[in-house]
Amino acid sequence: MQTAIATSPETMSPTAAEPDVLLAVNGDRLAFERLYRDNINRVYAVCVRMCGDRSRAEELAQDAFVRAWERLQQFRGDSAFSTWLHRLTVNVVLEAQRSERRGRARTESDDVLDAAPPVTRREHHAERMDLAVAIAALPPGARTVFALHDVEGYKHEEIAEMLDITSGGSKAQLHRARRLLREALA
């Protein structure tokens, strides 16, 4: 029989507050499965918002959990496991996007890579575009910055560092995304 150790909230490490994390770090696959079930919806939602494609988001969410399992020993407990997993997920999506861009033919111009399906103004309320569809239709750069800034709450400086762009470029992409969304949802 295990006995509970009394600790105050100030002295309790995130790992102690999340026993499944401690068990998973020590190789317990069932504990990691519980962490998966507890976090899969949030991880998938981040992936969908960042990539705009539900089937690709499923792949990326799985990739994020594979990466989490592989790097679980690196989790120091300085933050909640869900916070660590969120950042890891964002990095997985960003790496996949970079890889996809590198894999495209070098002859394509940036305008072609950033081309979005035409967004037309709908006259009838019943025909208005759903927000999720409008976000998915954004050009990849604008969609990524929109998701990181307006949905996930990152600052422009953080986004610039993650995407290897300037903070001004991040602001410009966000402005572009918001303008396109306003047009699509009008």
For 1-57, write each residue's pLDDT tens digit.
333 333 333 433 545 568 899 999 999 999 999 999 999 999 999 999 998 889 999
pLDDT given for residue 118 in this prediction: 53
CA–CA distance, 178 with 31 (Å, rounded to integer): 41
Q: Is the dihedral of CA 71, 76, 81, 82 positive or negative?
A: negative
| CA separation for the pair 26, 152 (Å, rounded) | 30
In contact, 74 and 62? CB cutoff 8 Å: no
d(CA 60, CA 3): 40
Domains of the chain: total: 2
Domain extent at residue 124? 107-186
Domain-located, residue 27: yes
Same domain for 72 and 150? no
CA distance 34 to 18: 11
Is the residue at 1 inside a domain? no
- Would residue 133 count as lying in a domain? yes
Residue 77 counted as domain residue: yes
Please provide the average confidence, as pLDDT, over all residues in the chain: 80
Answer whether 0.85 is exceeded by the pTM: no
Q: What is the CATH number of the domain that holds 32?
A: 1.10.1740.10
